[in-house]
Structure formats: C-alpha cells, structure tokens
Amino acid sequence: MVVTRFAPSPTGYLHIGGLRTALLSYLWAKKNGGKFLLRIEDTDKARNSEEAAQAIVNAFEWLGLAHDGEITYQSKRDDIYAKYIQQLLHEGKAYRCYMTKEELTELRETQMANKQRTMYDGSYRDFNGTPPEGVEPAIRIKAPKSGPIVVKDGVKGTITFQAEDILDDFVIARADGSPTYNFVVAVDDALMGVTEVIRGDDHLSNTPKQIVVYEALGFEIPAFYHVPMIHNAEGKKLSKRDGATDVMAYKEMGYTPEALLNFLVRLGWSHGDQEIFSMEEMMELFNPKDINKSASIYNTEKLDWLSGHYIKNMPNKKLAELLEQYGLMLTSHDKKEILLDSLKERAKTLKDLAELTKEILATPTSYDEKAVAKAFKADAIEVLNAFSAKVSASETLHLPSDYHHLMEEVVNEMGIGFGKIGQPLRLALLGKLSGPGLDSVMAIIGKNETLQRIEHAIAANS
RNA sequence: GGCCCCGUCGUCUAGCGGUCAGGAUCCAUGGUUUUCAUCCAUGUCACAGGAGUUCGAUUCUCCUCGGGGUCACCA
C-alpha cells in the first residue's frame, strides 16, 4: 500500500508551497488506493500546534483534500523517540557527547579560521573515561566517516553524497533530552509506514542524515521524491514576505479550490499539452516520476486565467451558493440564470463576480462625465423617451428578447443606428459605457427599475 | 566558501539524436459583440555559452557561466 504524508511545522497556516507538496502526496496516495497522513512537526514545543493543525485541516477542507487517520503530533511521542535513542545507545550506535556549547562554538571558529569544513570532531565518539562534572550530554549518532551515501530520488535521479564531506556525528537528542528533526522524521516516517516521501527539494541535503538514522535503526528506507521549489519573482525560495502565501488568502481573494489546485498541479508537472485538470483527472494522471527537475517561478497570471475559466464553466446554482459569502442571496432570485450567465463571463474571481452583480443590481448614483458628454445629447434623450414609452406600455416584459424587440422597434421607427439607443441607454442603466448586454440587464432589473433608471438619468443629465 | 540540485519563449511547460522547436498564459493586431468582457483567428518571443561524441545535437559527455538549496543541541 502506498502511504504518503504531509509533515508541516506549526506555523499557523497552510503555505502555498506546502499545499503543493500536500496535493501531490494526496494525489499519489489516492491514485493508488493508499493513505495520506498528516503529521505536525512540533518538536520545538513552544508553538500552538493544535491551532496550527486546525488551520491546516480547515484549508484542506476548503480545498476538498482530507488526510487519513489521526493527526500525529511529534510533541506527544517523546517516549517513542526516547526508546529508540536508548536502543541506539545500547547498541553502541550512538553516544553521549559532553562537549559544551561554548566548546563547540570554539571548535567551529577554529575550523573556520583554518578554512576547514565546520563539523563536530568526534571527540566523544569512543569516550569511556569519566564524564566532566555538571555537563548534561547531548546524544550523537555514529555516522559513517567516509564512503558514499546514495539517495535514490524519483525526481532527481540517483544522487551520491560522500560521507566525509557532508556528515559528522550529528545530534539526535539535545542535552534536555528532546530529539532533533532528522532523527524524528526518520523514526516517524518508518513507524507510520510511509512508503513514499514527497517533499520540497530543500530537504534533499537532509536526506543522507535521515538515511543514516534509518540504517542505524534497521528501518526500511522509503522512496523519495524531492519536488523543486516554487520561487518568487526574484527567483528565491517562496517565503512569508512574498505576499499571499497563506492558502486561505486565496479564498478571501475569491479564487475557487478547483482553480488553485489546477494551478498548483501544473507547477512542475504536466501531462502533454493539457492545461485543465479536474480532481478526478489529476488523480488519474498524476505520477511523481513526471515531476520536473527545475524550480518554477510563482506568477499568478495563469491562476487568474484558470480562475476565470472555472467560473465561466460553473453551474449557476453553485455560483449562487458561493456568492452567499459576499452577502448576495441570489438562490431565489427569479432572474438568477440570466444574471449569472451574463456576468460570469466577465469575472476572474468570485469576488469580481460579486462586485459585478452588486453593481448591476444597484441604481447608478453617478454617471461617467465623459460618457455623458459623448452619449447624452439632446437627440439621445428623445430616443430614450421613445423607448421608455414603449417599455411603459408593454405588459409582457420578461426575457432579454422582449426588451430587445422594443429596442429594435425604436431603432426602426426613428431610422437610427443601434448605437444611437445603445449608448445612452447603457449610460442611463449602468452609469457608464461598458457592461453586459442591455437586454439582459433590463430583464434582470425588471420593467419598473428600467423606467426609473431612465427617468433618473434624464433628470440628472439634461 | 564546502556539498548538492537546476538551466527550452517574460511566465507555466511539451520535447526523450533528425521537429518549420509544439501548447498555454501574457502582450499586440483583426473578427464577433451597439460598448466592455467572453469567444474566435493571426502575430511577436526560447533551446545560457564553449568544447567534444555522432552522418546529425535542444536532446548524450565535459568545462565555463548563471540561478537555487543546504551546511545548528531550527524544522
């Protein structure tokens, strides 16, 4: 069974880059009928991990992703880590190091002064004398001093590190007894039965250390897929200061989960020329072996396009429901279909759509000055009055086509072009010279409101 | 600086020794639309550089250059 996991540290929200690795992990697990687990890496203790976990689950919920099983909190597994640390100690695969922080710093400075690689010198590796007084020891693992450490990566290929230039006997438990990152990651992934680790390639250089832990403990090494980073416009790793990195901020901005997920899955992964992927298609087609090797730059142009695409193709019923969060209760509006059909083509986000809708539904309070000068001359008022009279006299106005017929009549009877009525009417109804089809607008707002807007516009501008 | 990864249009990408180097987005132009948006059509734009290997390299190898990541008793 394929088991993947998402293992964020508790920052209080779900990061856009984290979401991508979470999505890829999710897809791969689901595609294989496996499990997608969630683990909170809170060995640091200080922070509010429950809240952070909740924030992540909330974001997952919005996006339609869900983890399997219970959430694992590393902070609650001290006894487990302690047990394995003891095991390594007993087996002589780890040892107590009594070097103080001061001594370590000093060692490091000497090495830097000599332009050597900074590393622990192993002075307690084979120590069996009397420990110094008053020093709580850290626990270090006995790492190989030389030789190759091979990482088989499904994205990058086989990468060979030399122990002598990357490893030292790194700390697996601090002086206070708490275990460190590279140790717990390996232990947890093994214990949770994780078979495929999909994570950012910033973890690539940690992998040899984790392999050392896997091997010392006799655990099976999972398959690794190191996904390239998402960079900001400057080409650097995406971070908090790059604006919208909180996934929920995208909800605020009016993006739909479909658009965001589709956008993210195409960052570093593709399937031929296909751009649009439903969740079902992603699950069907995704394979981590097809992930790109190079980093991609985060740029929302395509997200906007995707967002618009999904909104245009969304059923009106669903749109109406989604618009409720903007205070628009359209579900029972009798002209809902006409309204949404004519507006959803012009919106990039749900927020846009909400604003467009509010604009149409409200009587204009001002009229664009230039537009008035251009379209609201004396003859225009004559045309409007003629049209107004026809609207007023008609008893069967419901559909856009009903209004369209009246416009045609005016145009024919007065022997003018369509623009002669379109421009002033548009200004009267919307306060400006752009917007959706006028016949639709009138059908949406209805006969009385149409008449009132025309009257109001004439009064205000003549 | 050591180690590691990466390098096709501005951006996301296809390519897996022989292609007019394809698609998408963005931008521009034209068409549709009384307007705007949508939609449709067209167009501009890329293999970082240099050596090899080969009949032939975007594709394989090496070097250079460029970019990124990582080097804790953080995660």
CATH of the domain at A370: 1.10.10.350
CB A259 within 8 A of CB A306: yes
Find the residue closest to B24 using CA and C1' atoms. A275
Q: Identify the residue whose tokens are 């103080």.
A: A100
- Do A123 and A99 form a contact (C-beta atoms < 8 A)? yes
Strand B atom within 7 Å of A202 CB: yes
- Is residue A46 predicted with pLDDT exceeding 70? no
Residue A383 lies in a domain: yes
Q: What are the phi and psi torsion angles at A229 (to 5°)?
A: -65, 160
- Which CATH number covers residue A154? 3.40.50.620
DSSP calls for A388-416: HHHHHH-S---SHHHHHHHHHHHHHHHT-
**Is strand B within 7 Å of residue A241 (CB)?**
no
In a domain, A280, yes or no: no
Q: Specify the amino acid at residue A170.
A: F
Token representation of residue A423: 């421009």
Quick: pLDDT tens for A78-130. 999 999 999 999 999 999 999 999 999 999 999 988 888 999 999 999 999 89
Q: What pLDDT, on the 0 to 100 scale, is given for residue A269? A: 97
Residue A137, burial from CB neighbour count under 10 angstroms (0-12, 13-18, 19+): middle
Indicate if the pLDDT at residue A206 is higher than 70: yes
- The DSSP bridge partners found for residue A216 are none
Verify if strand B has an atom below 7 Å from the CB of A180.
yes
What is the rounded CA–CA span in Å between residue A427 and residue A454? Answer: 9
Tell me the two tokens of residue A151: 């990482």
Contact between the CB of A292 and strand B at under 7 Å: yes
Residues 311-370 of A with CB under 7 A from strand B: 312, 345-346
Distances in whole angstroms, Cα of residue A282 to Cα of each of A5, A25, A279: 18, 12, 5
Find, among A230, A363, A367, the residue nearest to A299 by Cα: A230
- Distance in Å from B50's C1' to A106's CA comes to 45
A289 included as an active-site residue:
no
Among residues A45, A240, A293, A317, which one is catalytic?
A240
Residues in A 216-235 whose C-beta is less than 7 A from nucleic strand B are 228-229, 231, 234-235
- Strand B within 7 Å of which CB atoms in A 434-453? 434-439
Instruction: Compute how many other C-beta atoms are within 10 angstroms of the C-beta atom of residue A229.
Output: 20
Give the bases of strand B that a protein CB approaches within 7 Å.
Answer: 1-8, 10-14, 22-26, 33-39, 67-75
Tell me, rounded to whole angstroms, the distance of Cα A383 from its chain centroid.
52
**Quick check: is A160 in a domain?**
yes
Burial A189-200 (b: 16+ CB within 10 A, else e): bbebebbbbbbb
Q: State pLDDT tens for residues A409-426.
A: 999 999 999 999 999 999
Confidence at residue A43, expressed as pLDDT on a 0 to 100 scale: 81
Under a CB-based contact definition with an 8 Å cutoff, are residues A91 and A43 in contact?
no
- Residue A163 Cβ < 7 Å to strand B: no
Closest C1' nucleotide to A157's CA: B5
- Which SS3 state, helix, strand or coil, does residue A462 take? coil
Of A298, A303, A293, A295, residue with least CA distance to A232: A298
Q: Which residues 396-415 of A interface with strand B at a CB distance below 7 A?
A: none
Burial A19-39 (b: 16+ CB within 10 A, else e): bbbbbbbbbbbbbeebbbbbb
Residue A395, pLDDT > 70, answer yes
Strand B lies under 7 A from the Cβ of residue A182:
yes
Nearest Cα residue to A388 out of A363, A421, A358, A361: A421
Per the CB < 8 A criterion, the answer to whether A284 and A28 are in contact is no
Dist. CA A3–CA A449, nearest whole Å? 60
Categorize the per-residue pLDDT at A399 as very low, low, confident or very high, splitting at 50, 70 and 90.
very high
Query: For strand B, is any atom closer than 7 Å to the CB of A145?
Result: no
Q: Which nucleotide is nearest to A263 (CA to C1')?
A: B12
A267 occurs within a structural domain: no
The enclosing H or E element of A54 equals helix A49-63
A298: nearest nucleotide, CA–C1' criterion: B11
Residue-by-residue DSSP string for A73-127:
EGGG-HHHHHHHHHHHHHTTSEEEE---HHHHHHHHHHHHHTTPPP----TTTT-
Residue A327 lies in a domain: no
User: Does residue A389 belong to any structural domain of this protein?
Assistant: yes
Give the ipTM. 0.96
Q: Which domain holds residue A423?
A: 363-461
The residue that minimises its CA distance to C1' of B69 is A202
- The answer to whether position A264 is within a domain reads no
Question: At which residue do the structure tokens 């992934």 appear?
Answer: A189
**Does residue A149 sit within a domain?**
yes
Q: Is any atom of strand B within 7 angstroms of residue A432's beta carbon? A: no
Q: Of the residues A174, A192, A227, which one is the last residue of a structural domain?
A: A227
Instruction: Say yes or no: Cβ of A204 under 7 A from any atom of strand B.
Output: yes
Q: Which of residues 69-98 of A touch strand B (CB under 7 A)?
A: 74, 97
Task: Look at residue A45 in the predicted model and tell me its pLDDT.
Answer: 65
Residue–nucleotide distance: A154 CA to B19 C1' (Å) = 29
Say how many domains are in chain A. Answer: 2
**Which of the residue ranges A6-10, A377-381, A391-395 would you say has the lowest mean pLDDT?**
A377-381
Average pLDDT over every residue of A441-455? 96
Picking from A182, A198, A227, the residue at the C-terminal end of a domain is A227
Which of A169, A204, A227 terminates a domain? The answer is: A227
